[in-house]
Amino acid sequence: MRKIDAAVVGAGAVGCIAAKELACRGLETVVFEEHSRPGKFGKCTGLVSTRGLEALHVNYKHAVVSRVSGAAIHSPHFSFEVRRKNVAAVLDRQRFDEECAAEAVDAGAAIRYGSRVIGFSRKKEENGKNGTRVVTGNDGKKRFAARFIIGADGAQSPTAAARGFPPLEKLVLCCEKEFPRARVCDEEKVEVFVDNKLYPGFFAWIVPAGGGARIGFGTTRFDLAPGIEKKFFEKKEVRDAVGARKPKKSYWAVIPLAAREKTQAGNVLLVGDAAGQVKATTGGGIVFGGLCARIAAECVAESVVNKEPPRYEERWRDELGAVLRVHSFARRCADAAPNPLLDFFTAAANFGPAKLLDWFGDMDFILR
């Protein structure tokens, strides 16, 4: 059995950021990924704030397919537009994930592809302390004894299930289709549709993406999703953009909209979607998941030096919990508003959007 400092489960962007930061701090780190390559295989809209991307310390610029500087917000009967300079980038998510993986390897981490973690067990080490045994491989024969485990394995995290973490309380089901040659009115403007009858619990979108568009919706009413899909892709705005084109890619995904009540159990830490570290307003998880991955690595490294349990739970909630609560509050307000109220606010925004938006900072950290 090979002994290592840290095992990271999942080679998506967040897991690889954690691995990079751990390796940079001198910890022997192995990432376990069940697939033959890293990432989410492009199953992500990939609209991320520029400020948030810069905070991750990842060379993301080669993964940018387009830049966004504005948005058109549509309620059932009214619309308004906002503009901000260089506010966000639309990423080739697979290329971004692969860059994160490459940077992790360059820092000294190892990635074992085709290696699915199928179990954990506690093992008492010679010094009397409890370590963790990581069992990988479908046959269960490849074993690693890791001092720390970072679960970065998504909303349906096997790591969280295996270690008995409390469940994610709020989930949204999203459907997205990518059309390579869709017609969009403005390559730098996102279209957002809010309608609590048609998309209960979330919203719909058209995001320009390098000459095409990523078009989709989300809802917390999983039972209504098939009917919503039919109605949404029959909308005039969508039909005008798509025409008779067939999607290059189509997928469904489940995204958490609230953090787990607990994200650390001893030497097992959850990050990203596995922890529910996602903006409730948009479902975006790259920035906050990546920032929490960096915090997790710092806490693990401190734990090794100080020989004390990691302070991860306390640290990430102190540093990022407040802004995530603001996103959650905004989501609850939006969900509670009947459509006439959504129309009222959308219409009112046309009379003073600059004053309205001056209260806000950016897509991630919201309040200045």
Q: What is the pLDDT at residue 349?
A: 80
Strands 264-265 and 268-270: antiparallel
Helix pair 13-24, 93-107: axis angle to 10 deg? 20
Report strand pairing: 79-91 vs 47-49: antiparallel
Residues 35 and 118 in one domain: yes
Q: What is the pTM of this model?
A: 0.93
Mind listing the pLDDT tens digit for each residue in 135-152?
Answer: 887 667 778 899 999 999
Residues 37 and 106 in one domain: yes
pLDDT of amino acid 304: 93
Q: Is 49 contained in some domain?
A: no
- Domain hosting residue 62, numbered range: 56-90+171-256+337-357
At 41 the pLDDT is: 86
Whether 236 has a pLDDT exceeding 50, the answer reads yes
- Which pLDDT tens digit goes with each residue over 339-352? 999 999 888 887 76
Which helix or strand (DSSP H or E) is residue 31 part of? strand 29-33
- 225 has pLDDT over 50: yes
Please tell me whether residues 79 and 114 are part of one structural domain.
no
Element (H, E) at 255: strand 249-256
Please tell me whether residues 37 and 84 are part of one structural domain. Answer: no
- What is the domain-level CATH number for residue 33? 3.50.50.60
Beta 212-219 vs 204-209: how paired, if at all? Answer: antiparallel
Residue-by-residue DSSP string for 183-201:
--S-TTEEEEE--TTTSTT
Positive/negative CA dihedral, 154, 158, 161, 163: negative
Q: Do residues 322 and 273 both lie within one domain? A: yes
Mean pLDDT of the region 42-63: 93
Q: Which two tokens stand for residue 246?
A: 């067939």
Is 240 found in the same domain as 203?
yes
Residue 330 tokens, joined = 């905004």
- Residue 51 domain-assigned (yes or no): no
Whether 100 and 149 map to the same domain: the answer is yes
Longest CA–CA span in the chain (Å) reads 70
Domain count for the chain, please give it.
2
Mean confidence (pLDDT) of the chain: 90
| Domain presence at residue 240 | yes
Q: Do 163 and 305 fall into the same domain? A: yes
Backbone angles phi, psi at 244, to 5 degrees: -100, 10
Using the predicted structure, report yes or no on whether residue 206 has a pLDDT greater than 90.
yes
pLDDT at 84: 77
Q: Are residues 7 and 127 in the same domain?
A: yes
Give the pLDDT mean for 225-252: 93
355 has a pLDDT exceeding 60: no
